[in-house]
Amino acid sequence: MLAICDALAMVLLEVRGFRDEDFAALHPGGNLGKQLLTRVADIMRTNKNFATADPGATVDECLFAMQKCKAGAVVLIDGDRQLAGVFTHGDFVRGYRKDRQIGDSKVFKHMSHDPVTIDQDTLAINAVKIIKNHRIDEIIALDSKGKVVGIIDVQDLSRVDLI
């Protein structure tokens, strides 16, 4: 009986054009609802939780910005909020192994110049896929004009239960 009722329910859902998005709207707290309704902009770090610096900054200045924001990366942006690169804790460790005086050098020598980005209006579940595929900890969020607006850290995804 249960199988017949389930089959009937599925046929009715299909006939009425009921989509995953409709289910998510009715059950926003469930896993499917979170995956279909949560956008990058909803969970990205911004303002005081978002470490940024000028591309001409020193490594020491970038480390201070990271420490202040309790972040594992600092995004390097120019005056027009255009992305110049990202400097991560991993970049620091690799640089420190080569040069113990790395703190005084300019960050552009050690940063990633072409970091992975994502549009702020993209579903956050896509950020999860990107992090897994690229094996990275952070993704830089851009607005529709390509300007830097925030960052998603893998910790942010676990906080909203998407991973």
**pLDDT for 10-33, tens place per residue?**
777 788 887 766 665 665 555 555
In degrees and rounded to multiples of 5, residue 81 shows phi and psi of: 60, 25
pLDDT digit string, tens, across residues 113-160: 999 999 999 988 888 899 999 999 999 999 999 999 999 988 877 776
Cβ distance 107 to 84 under 8 Å? Answer: no
The alpha helices in 16-153, defined as continuous H runs, are 20-26, 31-37, 40-43, 59-69, 89-98, 124-134
Q: 79 and 105 share a domain?
A: yes
Which domain CATH number covers 141? Answer: 3.10.580.10
Q: 31 and 50 share a domain?
A: no
Distance CA 132, CA 109 (A): 27
Distance CA 124, CA 128 (A): 7
The count of structural domains within the chain is 2
DSSP single-letter state for residue 112: B
Q: 83 and 152 share a domain?
A: yes
Q: What angle do CA 83, 122, 36 make, to 5 degrees?
A: 155
Residue 161 binned pLDDT confidence (cut-offs 50, 70, 90): low
Q: 88 and 52 share a domain?
A: yes
Q: 77 and 133 share a domain?
A: yes
Cβ distance 42 to 127 under 8 Å? Answer: no
Residue 76 binned pLDDT confidence (cut-offs 50, 70, 90): very high
Which pair of structure tokens corresponds to residue 10? 């599925």
Cβ burial 86-124 (10 Å sphere, 16+ → b, else e) = bbbeebbeebeeeeeebbeeebbebbeeebebbebebbb
Q: 31 and 45 share a domain?
A: no
Q: 52 and 98 share a domain?
A: yes
Strands 117-119 and 138-142: parallel
- pLDDT attached to residue 27: 57
Q: 26 and 49 share a domain?
A: no
What is the extent of the structural domain holding 66?
Answer: 40-159
DSSP single-letter state for residue 18: -
Q: 10 and 25 share a domain?
A: yes
Q: 83 and 120 share a domain?
A: yes
Q: 134 and 77 share a domain?
A: yes
Going by C-alpha positions, the residue among 107, 109, 93, 110 that lies closest to residue 65 is 107
- Provide the percentage of residues in the chain whose pLDDT is more than 70: 86
Q: What is the rounded average pLDDT of the residues 66-85?
A: 93
